Structure 1
Amino acid sequence: MKFSRAFTMIELIFVIVVLGILAAIALPKFGQTRELADIAKGRADIATIRTAIVNERQSRLILGDATYIAKLSSSSTTLFTGDDSTTPDRNLLTYGIKAGTSSGDWAKTSDTVYTFKVGSTTTTFTYNPSNGTFTCTAGSGNCNALVD
């Protein structure tokens, strides 16, 4: 009786089909994972920004100034560094957030309007210097995912 030490064509085709099925299931999950990671990053950024606004307000109150910071950024490349003539050496965020155009990046539209991109969807946030709020104002379903 002669034994073969190789795989048959049927066995190879079966393995290729099984690998194809596994790849078809796994690839969409990787795309969804990227989007969920961007949402988690956005949620953390928003919490940090809001906390920084409150901390800046409390620092101002100690100094006898009851106003909120006028602008969250003076630059369009590094966001949320703050901009205040009375305390120019103090930043809102120590290192700021680098602006970008891809998924998971922030961009500055105006002195009070910022956008955050998740996949191809852009969500808009507005800073109100009169009451210190940083709120989601537009962006289909991402407002709830980012701020909830």
Structure 2
Amino acid sequence: LTPACHQDEVEELRAEMEEVRDCYLEEEVYQLQELRREVDRSNKNCRILQYRLRKAEQKSLRVAQTGQVDGELLRSLEQDLKVAKDVSVRLHNELEIVEDKRSRAEDENEMLRQRIIEVEISKHALHNEMERMKEVRGGGLCQRLQEQIQAVEQT
């Protein structure tokens, strides 16, 4: 193998590293967009709950001012309470799902970061080996470098 051949191998490793980094960034962007959509949905539900809470507070204030409980008002308050509880449970479940997705995304991101580091280390090691080989021009070194390059490509 010639030094030019080894340079090609280093370039291939560099391209592989850039591809891994690009995949990592694309996945991270997608996950961030998904989390933003889920946060937007949760914010919308919170605004709905705030509106219903204000409405219930106004009804409660009317009851306090008049001193009597209106049957329709009571039914309305009970319905609002039921809806608020349902929405609260649903939001809690959605939050758990989002947290689980976030945790999985962080784990995957860490794995990809480690893979990038490993590829970078291998690239540097092969580059250093190639430089040594250029200086020595030994046949045994060429064979060993070729085997190392193949091993890195297989991972």
Query: Please, what TM-score do these two structures have when normalized by structure 2?
Result: 0.36
Q: Which has the higher contact order (CA 8 A, sep 6+)?
A: 2
TM-score, normalising length: structure 1:
0.38
Instruction: Return the index of the structure with the highest Cα Rg.
Output: 2
Higher helix share: 2
Comparing both structures, which one devotes a greater share of its residues to strand? 1
